Structure 1
């Protein structure tokens, strides 16, 4: 296992969390999931969290349910911030040893500051912790949805009658000859 694998887990578990949150929004909007899909298709994750919170508040005013969702949203938002920091960075590793310290770095430009350099020692365990945090948030959300869907009459039965997409033709991989001017 290496940092590439850990970054893949982070990506996979975030996508699962984002998908569950989207499906929850679709159910909160009503039976026709296409409406929910049209609304959520281009939302950032933070906007999706805001939407789910607003829609859920239209379904209930029960403090225990609102508290439960607020905890999940807070955990999801914090996990997303850690995910963004990990995914939108580059990594240097001093050796192939799995216990080697990795250096996370990111260069960005800030208004009135110019270039900002971020350097931080990190480890494989740090990255795996983010993946676990995202997985736990997705599992909490799924459990919460299962608990509230009946009492709040959230309907996930909307069926999309869309045919599967046509298979794409296979692309031929370009061959690279010695004459090509590609440095890698």
Structure 2
């Protein structure tokens, strides 16, 4: 979808993130969405303040800024947006697969069925979760020693697992990473 950045034409639009009005002439981010009241695939926009979009829609805003050809974005605003997008990205969980330390002792290993103790290293993968008649995606947890066998059993490769763990794991010390990769 083609999102846009433009100056607000009036002060009537409200921000979909904070629910406050967007002042006339203020730069705003338009998230393109299908218009549910029109036929034939017509689209409309969900408007956001630029700062609100930086915190709630950082990837979409970044892509739109890179392709933006409309009114120039002031350098001071751009610096604030970059800072807000970086903070928002740091709060998001990393992509799958990654490793972390178990925050509680409630998760069970998908491979062996044993509980993963609080503070213990674990590998986090994406898995299918069946809920009645639907299947959704969610996180699945593995002991590092169970990870390679489980991934290979489900069509993945050990090389892809270790490559993903190297690229996506954040917040572990060098010693913890060494321990993780010695067990995977």
Structure with a larger share of its residues in strand: 2
Higher relative contact order (CA 8 A, sep 6+): 1
Structure with a larger share of its residues in helix: 1
TM-score where L is the length of structure 2:
0.29
TM-score where L is the length of structure 1:
0.29
